[in-house]
Amino acid sequence: MIDVTEILDMIDWNMPLEIQSKGVFLAKKVETIAPFIQPVTPKYNKNVWKNCAVIIADKNDEKLKPHLVELLEWLQDMNWPGAFCILERLQKYLDTNAIHSAIIVCIEKAKELNDEVWEKNLQLLLSS
C-alpha cells in the first residue's frame, strides 16, 4: 500500500523535479483524491497544491464526482497553485448535469460569502 504522507512529501515544490514526478506517478495508484484536494496543514499546503492538481486532473470523472464542490472551491483564487489545472479539468467534465449542480451550489456559497471573484470564476466555468 502506498503511503499518502510519503507521496505528499515527494510532491512538495521544494523537492527535485524527478522526486516530484515520482510522487505524481505513485499517486496514480491511490484510489481516492481526497488527500490531494488542497491540503492545509503546517507541512502540506500551497507547497503541494500544484502537483495535487496534476494528480487530480489525471483522474476520471467517476473519481471526481463526489468531490466536485470541493474542487470548485479551488477556483476561489486563480492565483492559487493548481487552480488553472483544476479549471481545465473541470471544463472537460462530461456529466454536465452534475457539474452544473455543483457550480450552482458554489455560486450560492460565493454569494453568501460576498466573494464576487469566486462567483465570477464559477460563472465563467458555467458558460464554457
Identity of the residue numbered 15? M
Q: Is the pLDDT of residue 128 over 90?
A: no
Region 77-99 average pLDDT: 96
Q: Is the pLDDT of residue 124 over 90?
A: no
Beta strands in the chain (DSSP E): none
Q: Is the pLDDT of residue 2 over 80?
A: no
- The upper half-sphere exposure of residue 14, i.e. CA atoms within 13 Å in the direction of its Cβ, equals 7
